[in-house]
Amino acid sequence: MNNAVLKDAKDRMDKTIEAFRHEITRIRTGKATTALLDGIRVDYYGSASPLNQVANVSVLDSHTLSITPWDKNMVVEIDKAILSADLGLNPISDGTNIKVPIPPLTEERRRDMVKLVKKIGEESKIAIRNVRRDANDSLKKLEKNKELSEDLKHDAEGEVQNLTDKHIEKIDDLIKHKEAEIMEV
């Protein structure tokens, strides 16, 4: 029974780390990456569609993204969507394609980005600790219902704590890596 609790806790903690990874890929590091535009939605004939579903997004060089719409009438809509996303990007359109130069980050902006990464990391750590709390509560209920002995509950709580420590360490490593990436000039 406690194996199910541990497996559920591990799965939820893994999902938290994946969500954190996904979230920090959207944070600009001064290098061009298609992930910067992942959250942008474009008005495609009345419905909001993800940018990558209405155009081909690619990296031209380390400081420029290229967007080639599948429908040439979408150039203006894509242009508007990028500007309204408030990413600090200024698209340049030639009528059929859009180039998005990625401006270099100032020192102050880099520090702000690092603070944001740390804030998101702390929120992820809190989510992992909440999973630990839920798992420990489940173990206590199992013990109360006589489905788990006190010794087994104590051992399982130790395993939950080990899981928590490992996952928090992973988040710390991801934060350090992203911080180094952002601060790199």
1 pLDDT above the threshold of 80 = no
pLDDT at 137: 94
- Which of 155, 103, 119, 163 lies closest to 24, judged by CA? 119
Q: Say yes or no to pLDDT of 168 above 90.
A: yes
Stretch 39-45: mean pLDDT: 85
**pLDDT above 90 covers what percent of the chain?**
38
Q: What is the pLDDT of residue 126?
A: 96
d(CA 128, CA 30): 30
Q: Which amino acid is at 165?
A: D
Where do the domains of the chain lie, and which CATH numbers do they carry? 2-26+106-183 (1.10.132.20), 34-101 (3.30.1360.40)
Nearest to 137 by CA among 151, 156, 113: 156
pLDDT at 185: 65
Predicted confidence at residue 176, as pLDDT, reads: 95
Q: Tens of pLDDT along 76-118? A: 888 888 888 777 788 998 888 999 988 887 888 888 889 989 9
**DSSP bridge partners of 101:** 64
CA–CA dist 171, 34 (Å, integer): 23
